[in-house]
Chains A and B, each alone.
Chain A
Amino acid sequence: MTTTVPTNKAVKQRGIEATRARQAVWLLIPTMIAIILVAGYPLYRTIFFSLFEANLTSPDQKTFLGLGNFWFTTDEGVALGFLQDPKWWGAVTNTLLFTVVSVFLETVFGMIIALVVNSAFPGRAFLRTAMLVPWAIPTVVSAQMWSYMYNDSFGLIGRGLLGGTALLANPSTSIWAMIAVDVWKTTSFMALLILAGLQSLPSDMYEAADMDGASKGRQFWQMTLPLLRPALLVALVFRSLDALRVFDIMSVMVGNVSAARLSMTAYARQALIDNQLLGMGSAVSIAIFIIIMVIVVVYVTAFRVKFD
């Protein structure tokens, strides 16, 4: 008799688990529908249209091009694929420059600010609050604030520091001016993440290191940095992905036409929306998608980033 009891229980347990699994599916349905509707289906459409020549206003009248949007030379030798467009490669170079420099500076400044805020001093609470201000300001607003500061006849920087130089008018200086905006805006985000990491480090380890007479610099390089590595890497991945899809700073500060030379996203948007080239724009979007996915995979495998 006693042996039947556990079997019954197991059957019942399995029954409960099956019910729970069914219930879980129901709970997930709204989210899955939303994701398919706003991500899955549009992505499929983008991939689909990247193979066609089509106009945004009449997407149904389309001609199949294969990979012609990417690479296509007419009989007269006119290069039509976007991969043959030097403007595209300019946008790629500038976006990569923007990403590498701004994420690097944000990490260094973020680390400095986090270390300062992590040490005890009067006014620390104030600085911690001040850190949140640039992060809370909408990107478009910070872009306008900095455009004003860069302005050659009114701005603190453009007129005050540089004596009337229009930084944004010149493509070779405007990219650096916009890197400065991105660094100002997101350094605090980096600092917040690093600070959270710093505060989870065990303090007794530092006491032991102090006792052993290890210098602060040595403690930083040999204890703090290695221990922060996981948190730092995840922050780096997400900051890099954000920087790679930069659009608003450039669109607001130099206008959509100049932005298309500086940012991959702006280049794609110009083709897609301003020039109404649904097929070409989709092809560019897919290229950006691939570039970003490759970078994610490289990051995740090279640094063994874990998301759990």
Chain B
Amino acid sequence: MYLKRTNPTLYYLQRVGFYALVVVITLYLLIPFLWAVLTSFRKAGDLFLQPLAFATAPSTLGNYIDVFANPNFRLGLLYSLITAVGAVAIALLFGSFAAYALGRFKFRGKSAVLYIVLAVSVFPQIAVLGGLYTLINSLGLYNTPSGLILAYLIFTIPFTVWVLTSFVRDLPGELEEAALVDGASPLQTLFLVLFPVMMPALVTTGLLAFINAWNEYLFALTFTSTRRTVPVVIANYSGATQFDQPWGQIMAASIVVTIPLIILVLVFQRNIVSGLTAGAVKG
């Protein structure tokens, strides 16, 4: 502010520099995505055009129509939805029980449980890949959404337990004491008293866990052969021949998978940032 009076040239140079930086950052963050959106609306033949001609070429919905006509993609969306919702529902249910116990009860071995949960959340998935593969096979769950739901618990449960525990710990104790005095059981207290207050935390945690499950690739690639989730479908999207990469369709499929996530993230922006910092900074 003083600089504006004492040295206006330097002040305006700094301002220009700052805004140049803002523009560079925005372009860097958004161009790859916007280019993918643009490509998804272009005909296959137009991909050869120079960037300017490409950008102004006529738009078409053809890629989206082709993508939705592809049964693998449609089923992929369905399987992704089933597995992600299933894994998140189980994790939220089990996770809130555990978080209630860890955040509100005193008992021996509590910190041991917390450390186990933390240790599992830094587990490299590959360390259990072989063991899980044989387990899923022997349970007859290979190539089923249930098998993937089971596998996804390895990252959804520790995450929900950890984030919800830090939330439950910060809740005022009076709520629960009142329920205790009225003779409510722990499950009654949890469902009738704490759940309503925990709603924002449950939504945030559930959303972040859902995003992780929706994006998962290694387990989905390994534990299914035909009932592929959508990331695996997109990774293996192929055209009529092996050498033909239908980029327009791949980009359309990518946008279809990404748009719901972007909308969710933008709607729940504030919760996401607080949930991410709770989840990442505390474990």
Contact = CB atoms under 8 A, between A and B. Distances in A.
Interface string B214-233: 11011001100000000110
Contacts of B211: 136
Interface residues of B, number: 92
B199 interface: no
B262 interface: yes
B257 A138 contact: yes
Q: What is the interface of chain B mostly: helix, strand, loop, or mixed? A: helix
Contacts of A146: 32
Contacts of B135: 37, 41-42, 45
Contact of B22 (A123, A154, A282): A123
B130 interface: yes
A252 interface: yes
Contacts of B120: 35, 39
A49 B133 CA distance: 12
Interface in A257-308: 264-265, 268-269, 272-273, 278, 281-282, 285-286, 288-289, 292, 296, 307-308
Q: What is the interface of chain A mostly: helix, strand, loop, or mixed? A: helix
Contact of A43 (B95, B105, B131, B254): B131
Contacts of A35: 116-117, 120, 157-158
B132 A38 contact: yes
Contacts of B116: 35
A148 B247 contact: yes
B65 interface: no
Interface residues of A, number: 95
A153 B243 CA distance: 13
B128 A245 contact: no
Nearest to B118: A307
Nearest to B256: A141
Nearest to B127: A289
Interface stretch (A20-28, A75-83, A98-106): A20-28
Contacts of A23: 101, 105, 186
7 contacts: A24-B110, A38-B150, A44-B131, A121-B19, A138-B258, A265-B125, A289-B127
Interface of A: 17, 20-21, 23-28, 30-32, 34-35, 37-39, 41-46, 49, 56, 59, 112-113, 116, 119, 121, 123, 126-146, 148-149, 151, 153-154, 156, 160, 184, 188-189, 192-193, 195-196, 231, 234-235, 238, 241, 244-245, 247-248, 251-252, 264-265, 268-269, 272-273, 278, 281-282, 285-286, 288-289, 292, 296, 307-308
Lowest 9 CB-CB distances: which A-B pairs, in order?
A42-B131, A45-B131, A42-B128, A24-B105, A27-B101, A21-B107, A140-B231, A31-B98, A289-B127
